[in-house]
Amino acid sequence: MRKLVLALLIAPLLATGFSIAASAQDSKETGSGLVRVYFPDREIRNKVLISFEAALLLTNDEEGYHLLEADSEDVVRLKAAGLRVDAEKGPGPPSPRLPGFPCYETVEETRIEAEAIVASAPDMASLIDVGDSWEKDNGLGGYDLHVLKLTNQSIGGAKPKLFMTCGLHAREYTTSPLCLDFSNHLIDRYGVDADVTWILDHHEVHLLMQANPDGRKQAEAGLYWRKNTNQNYCSPGSQNRGADLNRNFPFGWGCCGGSSSNQCASDYRGSAPESEPETQAVVGYMRSIFPDQRGSAASDAAPDDATGVYIDVHSYGELVLWPWGYTVNSAPNGAALQTLGRKLAHANQYWPGQAIGLYPTSGATDDFGYGDLGIASYTFELGTTFFQQCDVYEDTILPDNLNALLYAAKVSRTPYQTPSGPDVTLLSLESVAVARGVPVGLSATLDDTRFNNVNGLEPVQAISAAEYYVDIPPWSAGIGMPLSADDGAFDTSVEAVQGTLGTGELSVGRHIIFVRGRDEAGSWGATSAVFLQVDPPIGVWVSPWWGRVLFVFAVLALGIGRLSSPGSLLGKTRF
Ligand code: 0X9
Ligand code: ZN
């Protein structure tokens, strides 16, 4: 019935032979603008299209609207035909930085900066629309949720992945900036820092920087907003409305006293597992990039060589937390989760612990990542307050956590195995550039003790071996060359090692040297790398400019030689 009424109402538009050319001229007087005209069905879609063809900029069939350049008369006519007409919001000027917190990007600025990363490095970065915020989903403005994917696209094949969510809780100011600054660090240091270079060549980093943009806008206005802004919960205008996205994930949802059924509570779990569009976006994306590596029984462990790391970044409390949050039982992969947790906590100097040690939580992100998919999943609680001052973020939170995140990206291939092995520290080459054929000394320190032991003691062993690889890393079946202990024996948990790299077989150009160590338990630790520049061998190749200089010298030498010794020829000795 409604369809018929609309068809009748819009008919006059067609009958009048509505001319957009005339309308566009009119618009100079009346003022024109971009509008979205929503169509309820295909018939109306096509009628509007025909009537406004000349003014049509695009048709979005997915969301059901045409974007038109329309003047006020057009708008009146379209509305009279029963159609919904919304003014199109242009990109507009970027909103100013948060007052008092100039180091934190707004939701809009985060998007702009992510797009700038993609524009500056399109072969390394892409932006993926993974879903909508609640307000977007409900036609109230809102935002798309975007994942920034970072990897060197020219190197193909399946790669290990680190996935991060930031800003899930709106008021936790430092979290989204950390995601963005980590992204910028990776892109800026590619080709400069050998570790960053191999991480992006051989691994992937995926970041959902603004996981709760509707809520974040409330927090940007100064409110201590935590949840999303779902108006169906509590009451539409209440500042306590919304669902706690960190209680809305489908694993263990609603169990064990780890969330609230009170819609106005700060830890309201939502009406059903994964009821919120933001949760659906994260869950859907994680399922699309990670294989399911864990059985469904509570006691099922993921295999030791399971792949993938997930970090959900929150604040505050200076904590590194791992599953479970819903039970005091340790997870089937609990020991390995703890090992990586303590190693991450060594990097950022945070307190490592099983999540329930804080308080019971159910339907949280990390229990989902591990419980549902078997991924090594963590929650970081950054800093000491929600609205953290910029100097604390810039001087401490950012540098400390960059190291933790780089480590997580490095070990994402086998997060349940690699972290128990030693780290490479102080890696250096005697010379960063050598002529081909000239051997170069390599020195490094291997350290099996890099765990934060403030909450229990991680077992440590002596180093038992160390090796280097040229260009082809261990995981690509490169050939490991042994390094030796400086003091002649591998017998301590921290060992200085050395070796000499022959360069006679290397091509001229830049090479990457990978180093790793093993402990007595048999665990190979994370790989670290340095660049080595190999220059042309001395005396064989000379640039054209030097060639000319040498030629002049040779001619002069020949002349002088003839003068002083008439019987000698160049290259021949007269007896
Ligand atoms: O309560 C939360 O969701 C987290 N704290 S916050 O201040 N950022 O809100 C702690 C979650 C701890 N539990 C799990 N990580 N499972
Ligand atoms: Zn939080």
- Which residue in the block uniquely carries the two structure tokens 């007595």? 520
Atom of ligand 1 nearest to the CA of 316: 7
CATH fold of 19-87, please?
Alpha-Beta Plaits (3.30.70)
Residues 334, 298: Cα–Cα separation, whole Å: 12
User: How far is residue 265 from each of residues 65, 227, 233, 240, 403, measured CA to CA in Å?
Assistant: 37, 10, 10, 7, 35
Distance 338 CA to ligand 1 centre (A): 17
pLDDT at 26: 33
The full length of the chain comes to 575
Establish whether residue 321 lines the binding site of ligand 1, counting it when its CB lies within 6 angstroms of any ligand atom. yes
- Render each residue's pLDDT in the chain as its tens digit; 575 residues: 333 333 333 333 333 332 222 233 333 333 467 788 998 998 898 888 878 877 777 777 878 888 777 887 888 888 888 898 888 765 444 455 778 899 999 999 999 999 999 999 999 999 999 999 999 999 999 999 999 999 999 999 999 999 999 999 999 999 999 999 999 999 999 999 999 999 999 999 999 999 999 999 999 999 999 999 999 999 999 999 999 999 999 999 999 999 999 999 999 999 999 999 999 999 999 999 999 999 999 999 999 999 999 999 999 999 999 999 999 999 999 999 999 999 999 999 999 999 999 999 999 999 999 999 999 999 999 999 999 999 999 999 999 999 999 999 999 999 999 999 999 999 999 999 999 999 999 999 999 999 999 999 999 999 999 999 999 999 999 999 999 999 999 999 999 999 999 999 999 999 999 999 999 999 999 999 999 999 999 865 455 555 455 444 443 443 333 333 333 322 222 22
Establish whether residue 358 lines the binding site of ligand 1, counting it when its CB lies within 6 angstroms of any ligand atom. yes
**CATH number at 421-535:** 2.60.40.650
Give me the helix-helix angle, 107-120 and 213-220, nearest 10°. Answer: 120
Q: Whose CA is nearest to atom 16 of ligand 1?
A: 325
Residues 6+ apart with CB under 8 A from 478: 469, 470, 471, 472, 514
Supply φ then ψ for residue 142, to 5 degrees: 75, -165
Type of residue numbered 159: K
Distance 534 CA to ligand 2 centre (A): 49
Establish whether residue 366 lines the binding site of ligand 1, counting it when its CB lies within 6 angstroms of any ligand atom. yes
Q: Is the peptide bond before 316 cis (omega within 30 degrees of 0)?
A: yes
Q: How far is CA 358 from the centre of its chain?
A: 27
> Phi/psi class of residue 558: alpha, beta or left (left: φ > 0; alpha: ψ in -120 to 50)?
alpha
* Direct distance between the N- and C-terminal alpha carbons of the chain, in angstroms, rounded to an integer: 117
DSSP-assigned beta bridge partners for residue 150: 125, 205
Establish whether residue 269 lines the binding site of ligand 1, counting it when its CB lies within 6 angstroms of any ligand atom. no
User: What residues does CATH 3.40.630.10 cover in the chain?
Assistant: 98-418
Distance 489 CA to ligand 1 centre (A): 46
Q: Which residues lie at CB < 5 A from ion ligand 2?
A: 169, 314
Say if residues 118 and 131 touch (Cβ distance below 8 Å): no
pLDDT at 96: 59
User: How far is residue 115 from each of residues 108, 148, 166, measured CA to CA in Å?
Assistant: 11, 9, 17
pLDDT at 89: 62
User: What residues does CATH 2.60.40.650 cover in the chain?
Assistant: 421-535
In the sheet with 161-166, reading across from the earlier edge strand, the strands are: 125-132, 144-150, 204-208, 161-166, 309-315, 376-382, 319-322, 351-354
CB atoms within 10 A of CB 151: 22
Pick the CATH number of 98-418 from 3.40.50.720, 3.40.50.300, 3.30.470.30, 3.40.630.10: 3.40.630.10
Atom of ligand 1 nearest to the CA of 244: 3
Token pair in block for residue 77: 């006519």
Supply φ then ψ for residue 373, to 5 degrees: -115, -15
Distance 119 CA to ligand 1 centre (A): 35
